[in-house]
Amino acid sequence: MKKLLVLVAVAVFVAGFSLTSFASGPADITFKAKMGNVAFPHAAHQGKVSDCNTCHHKGTDDAKCSTCHDGTKAPKAKDAYHKQCKNCHKKMGGPTGCKECHVK
């Protein structure tokens, strides 16, 4: 019986750790853009933003915008990223110039 309880406890711990790691997403993301790719340090931003919905307005899943938006109800991705990122960067003191984020 003790062995079963230990196995269950270990399984719960491992499952909890796995879900936490999965929910945190990748440490770094690269957005492809014509002006130059944008390296996005996801983990660093997570440390500054307490609610994932601040950036992921429909949750933390990695679904594409087109999953919900048909292209007429939402702005273009470029416009959405620029508005969201630049507005936050202005408030928090992050980069706002084109070449500060876009690197060719």
Q: Which helix (H) or strand (E) holds 97?
A: none
On the 0-12 / 13-18 / 19+ scale of CB atoms within 10 A, 9 is exposed
Number of CB atoms found within 10 A of residue 101's CB: 22
The answer to whether 39 and 30 are in contact (CB under 8 A) is: yes
Fold category of 27-103 in CATH: Cytochrome C3 (3.90.10)
Span 28-81, pLDDT tens digits: 999 999 999 999 999 999 988 888 888 887 665 556 676 777 766 777 778 888
Rg over alpha carbons for the chain, rounded to the nearest Å, is: 19
Q: Tell me phi and psi for residue 70, to 5 degrees.
A: -95, 5
The pTM of the whole model exceeds 0.95: no
